[in-house]
C-alpha cells in the first residue's frame, strides 16, 4: 500500500502576512509564494514590501502589497473588507522594548501592547470575520514567542503581551472551530533578524541566551518557515488551539 504524503502546497490559497517587510514575516511570505499561494505582504514600509512583491512576480509567483500600519484598526479592517477572504493569515507584526519594570514607562507599555496585543486581536477579528462571512475555512497563525510560556528579566512587557496572545489564540480556536478555521501560535526563541541584531552585539547577552538554548545556536528566519508552512497547509488539518515551540529547547527545563 502506498503511503499518503501530506500536502504542504498552498495552490489556490490567498495568504496575508503582517510585518512582512523584513525578518520572519518576509521569509514566511517568500515561502508561501513558492508553495503556490497568492501572498499579500503587509507592512508600514511600502517601499520594502513593494520591492519584494515585484521580485516575487518576476519569478512568476503571485504577490501584492498592503502598505499600512496595523495599529490603525479602522484602516486595516477597511482594507480587509475590500478584498476577498484570505485562507491564511499570519499575525506577525510585533515589537519589544526590553528593560527592567522599574524603567518601563506608559509609552513603552502602550507601544508594546498596542501592537502585540490590541492590533493582533483586531487584525484577527477583521480577517477571520471575513472568512466566516464567506464560508472560507483556513488558518490563522499568531506569531507568539517562547516568552509566551516562560518569564525572563527585562521582558515583563513582552512576556505579558505574548502570554495574552497565547490565551487569545486558545479562545479564538474554540470560537472558530465550528467554522473550520484553525488558530495556532508559533513560538520562536531568539531569532537573528534586523530587529534583534543589535542585542547580540553585546557578548554577555548573547552568551546568556545561548546558555538557555539547548541546541546551542541562535535561530534563523528559515527555522520558522517550515512550521509556518505546516500550519498554513492541509498537513495540519487537525491542529488548532496549539503552540508550535521553535525554541531550541529553551522551555524544556
Read off the pLDDT of residues 32-42 as tens digits, 9 standing for 90 and up. Answer: 999 999 999 99
Candidate list 32, 86, 158, 163, residue with the active-site label: 158
Model confidence at 26: pLDDT above 90:
yes
**Local confidence band at 4 (pLDDT 50, 70, 90 cut-offs):** confident
Check: CB of residue 187 under 8 Å from CB of residue 244.
yes
Residues 197 and 215: their CA atoms lie apart, in Å, by 19
Confidence label for 159 from pLDDT (cuts 50, 70 and 90): very high
Q: In 3-state terms, what secondary structure has residue 219?
A: strand
Residues constituting the chain: 253
Q: What are the structural domains of the chain?
A: 14-243 (3.40.50.720)
Q: Residues 185-213: what's their mean pLDDT?
A: 93
The 10 Å Cβ neighbour count of residue 193 is: 18
Mean pLDDT throughout 180-190?
98
Helices (DSSP H) in 85-220: which residue ranges? 106-113, 120-134, 156-176, 203-212
158 is catalytic: yes
**Sheet (strand 88-91) strand order:** 62-67, 38-43, 14-18, 88-91, 138-143, 181-188, 243-246
Percent of the chain topping pLDDT 70: 100
Above 90 in pLDDT, residue 3? no
pLDDT digits (tens, 9 = 90+) for 99-145: 999 999 999 999 999 999 999 999 999 999 999 999 999 999 999 99
Residue 164 pLDDT exceeds 90: yes
What mean pLDDT is reported for the chain?
97
pLDDT of residue 199: 87
DSSP-assigned states of every residue in 2-49? PPPPP----TT-EEEEESTTSHHHHHHHHHHHHTT-EEEEEES-HHHH
159-164 average pLDDT score: 98
0.95 cut: is pTM over it? yes
Amino acid at each position: 500500500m502506498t503511503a499518503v504524503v501530506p500536502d504542504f502546497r498552498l495552490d489556490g490559497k490567498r495568504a496575508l502576512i503582517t510585518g512582512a517587510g523584513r525578518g520572519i514575516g518576509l521569509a514566511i511570505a517568500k515561502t508561501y509564494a513558492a508553495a503556490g499561494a497568492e501572498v499579500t505582504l503587509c507592512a508600514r514600509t511600502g517601499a520594502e514590501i513593494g520591492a519584494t512583491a515585484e521580485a516575487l512576480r518576476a519569478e512568476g509567483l503571485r504577490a501584492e502589497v498592503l502598505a499600512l500600519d496595523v495599529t490603525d484598526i479602522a484602516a486595516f479592517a477597511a482594507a480587509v473588507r475590500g478584498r476577498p477572504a484570505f485562507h491564511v493569515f499570519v499575525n506577525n507584526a510585533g515589537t519589544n522594548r526590553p528593560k527592567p519594570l522599574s524603567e518601563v514607562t506608559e509609552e513603552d507599555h502602550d507601544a508594546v501592547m498596542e501592537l502585540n496585543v490590541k492590533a493582533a486581536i483586531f487584525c484577527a477579528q477583521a480577517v477571520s470575520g471575513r472568512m466566516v462571512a464567506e464560508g472560507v475555512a483556513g488558518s490563522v497563525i499568531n506569531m507568539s514567542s517562547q516568552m509566551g510560556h516562560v518569564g525572563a528579566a527585562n521582558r515583563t512587557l513582552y512576556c505579558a503581551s505574548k502570554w495574552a496572545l497565547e490565551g487569545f489564540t486558545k479562545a479564538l480556536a474554540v470560537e472558530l472551530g465550528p467554522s473550520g478555521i484553525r488558530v495556532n501560535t508559533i513560538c520562536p526563541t531568539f531569532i537573528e533578524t534586523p530587529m534583534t541584531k543589535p542585542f547580540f552585539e553585546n557578548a554577555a547577552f548573547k552568551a546568556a541566551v545561548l546558555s538557555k538554548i539547548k541546541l546551542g545556536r541562535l535561530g534563523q528566519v528559515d527555522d520558522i518557515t517550515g512550521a509556518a508552512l505546516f500550519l498554513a497547509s492541509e498537513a495540519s488539518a487537525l491542529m488548532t488551539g496549539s503552540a508550535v515551540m521553535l525554541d531550541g529547547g529553551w522551555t524544556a527545563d
